[in-house]
């Protein structure tokens, strides 16, 4: 059986290390903003009067961390800034249906739902066209049409972060260990064969030299494979430990600067 040369062993080791780098490339996406950072950016957009941008960032944060307070903040934007009753009602109701509500925010959301629904119910209905000879032109639904504009950016969704293939690194390490076991067994066998050989004189027979060279090459290959397995496992473990953990609800920072509502002077959660 032809034994691998040192060059082949080096190529195999380089290939194994290259595979282990796959475990590093996927976690590079860990630099993406967290829910807390998106929440902070959303509030900055709110302060800059970029309300569609603020809503978009808040909903991205909500996709990463289901914190019902984000729904309340989005409702506040539609209610107090965009003045879209329908969307404000939708997000107030979504907040009230969530399982992590707070007593004070429930009270405020309920009050606003009641008031906004009353305003919608009291809104004058558009009269139907008369049956006269000259057809009347239906009045423009200006405010209603314009209120739908923020809908396009109101609730963007963010795909869940894909799982990182740590198995690639650990699998590589496992393959290298298997290879080390095989080459180690072959090295021991070659060493045993070498111990059985004997010769006389100063000249070493070719078969003895070949057996000694094979034992040395296999031993070096075993060492390299073991080293590669250790490197692959260590790199994968370090990357796995360094990856950010999912943000808990308590870590999502909600804005603390509270603008006053113009209607009654009450302080709202924004």
What is the percentage of the chain residues whose pLDDT exceeds 90? 31
Q: Stretch 24-36: mean pLDDT, rounded?
A: 67
Write down the pTM of the prediction: 0.42
In which domain, by residue range, is 59 found? 33-123+147-160
- Tell me how many domains the chain contains: 2
- Are 18 and 67 within one domain? no
Residue 90 covered by a domain: yes
- Are 112 and 174 within one domain? no
- Are 69 and 152 within one domain? yes
Euclidean distance between CA atoms 51 and 44, whole angstroms: 10
Kindly tell me if the per-residue pLDDT of 3 is higher than 60. Answer: no
Tell me the pLDDT tens digit for each residue of 130-158. Answer: 555 444 444 433 333 333 334 334 444 44
Banded model confidence at residue 191, pLDDT cuts 50, 70, 90: confident
Residue 66, judged by CB atoms within 10 A of its CB (0-12, 13-18, 19+), counts as middle
Residue 236 covered by a domain: yes
Residue 151 covered by a domain: yes
- Are 176 and 192 within one domain? yes
The Cβ of residue 58 has, within 10 Å, a number of other Cβ atoms equal to 29
Greater pLDDT, 195 or 79: 79
Structural Rg of the chain based on CA atoms = 35
């Amino acid at each position: 059986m032809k034994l691998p040369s040192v060059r082949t062993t080096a190529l195999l080791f380089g290939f194994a290390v290259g595979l282990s780098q796959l475990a590093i490339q996927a976690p590079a996406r860990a630099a993406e903003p967290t829910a807390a950072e998106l929440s902070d950016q959303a509030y900055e957009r709110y302060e800059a009067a970029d309300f569609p941008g603020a809503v978009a960032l808040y909903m991205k944060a909500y996709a990463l961390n289901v914190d019902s307070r984000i729904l309340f903040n989005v409702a506040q934007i539609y209610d107090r800034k965009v003045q879209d009753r329908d969307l404000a009602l939708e997000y107030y109701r979504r907040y009230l249906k969530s399982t992590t509500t707070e007593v004070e925010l429930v009270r405020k959301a309920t009050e606003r739902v009641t008031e906004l629904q009353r305003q919608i119910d009291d809104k004058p209905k558009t009269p139907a066209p008369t049956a006269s000879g000259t057809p009347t032109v239906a009045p423009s639904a200006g405010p209603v049409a314009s209120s739908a504009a923020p809908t396009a950016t109101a609730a963007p969704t963010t795909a869940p972060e894909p799982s990182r293939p740590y198995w690639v690194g650990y699998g590589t390490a496992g393959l290298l260990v298997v290879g080390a076991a095989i080459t180690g067994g072959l090295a021991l066998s070659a060493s045993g064969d070498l111990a059985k050989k004997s010769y006389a004189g100063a000249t070493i027979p070719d078969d003895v030299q070949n057996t000694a060279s094979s034992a040395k090459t296999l031993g070096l290959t075993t060492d390299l494979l073991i080293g590669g397995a250790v490197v692959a496992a260590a790199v994968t473990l370090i990357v796995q430990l360094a990856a950010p953990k999912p943000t808990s609800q308590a870590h999502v920072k909600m804005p603390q600067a509270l603008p006053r509502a113009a209607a009654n002077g009450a302080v709202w959660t924004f």
